[in-house]
Amino acid sequence: MTDIVSFLRAWIADPLRVAAVAPSSPALADLMTTEIKPTSAPVLELGPGTGALTRALLARGVPEDKLVLVEYSAEFARLLERRFPAARVLLMDAAKLGEVDLFNGERAGAVVSSLPLALMPPDRVQTILEAGFRHLRADGAFYQFTYGPRFPASRAVLERLGLQATRTGRTFANVPPAAVYRIRRRGRKPSQRQDRPPLPRP
């Protein structure tokens, strides 16, 4: 109940940034993390809120100290620091992640996003996707859920970035019902490496 109150308060304060009026349900958290394994670590989570998906990631075997949680709300960030003391919590805009080192030079195996991309302008969506893939291994995947009928980024944005989105499932056991998408680089094989120069730490 406390988490629901926190979400409602945050939604009233800034509905375009929070979008949801309640935390992700266990069914949605399970669907979002179904392909995550311990070998996916480190993992980057965008917009973790009160930590519903964070708990699911831990249940999948991702070590807490291999999680970076990027949260825009100061209230949620403080809550996350108390609940997941071994994780790295960053109070910042996810669109600014592209040029910082989150994992000491290591690349993430997965990005898990609860950001309301459907409510954002296309250029901001593109910036966030670019930032997420900047931190992903060549065989990594970006997971995004949406309440809408289609993936919340235009085909033009995906084509510009060389990405492909595939719906992995839908759950009606969430308020509101949600669909989950896996986004990968087009033409990339898991065995291919992606070497990039080191990034500065935030």
CATH number at residue 59: 3.40.50.150
Q: What pLDDT shows up at residue 195?
A: 42
- In eight-state DSSP terms, residue 17 is H
Is 150 inside a domain boundary?
A: yes
Is 44 inside a domain boundary?
A: yes
Helices (H) and strands (E) in the chain, counts: 7, 7
- pTM score of the predicted model: 0.84
**CB within 8 A of 117, min separation 6: which ones?**
125, 128, 144, 146, 152, 153
Judging by beta carbons within 10 Å of its beta carbon (0-12, 13-18, 19+), is residue 140 exposed, middle or buried?
A: buried
What is the domain count for the chain?
A: 1
Judging by beta carbons within 10 Å of its beta carbon (0-12, 13-18, 19+), is residue 202 exposed, middle or buried?
A: middle
- Using 50 as the pLDDT threshold, list the residues of the chain that sit under it: 1, 7, 11-12, 21, 190-198
Is 6 inside a domain boundary?
A: no
Residues 99-116 have pLDDT tens digits of: 789 998 899 999 999 999
Q: Which domain holds residue 153?
A: 22-185
Is 176 inside a domain boundary?
A: yes
Is 172 inside a domain boundary?
A: yes
How open is the CA angle 152-153-158, to the nearest 5 degrees?
145
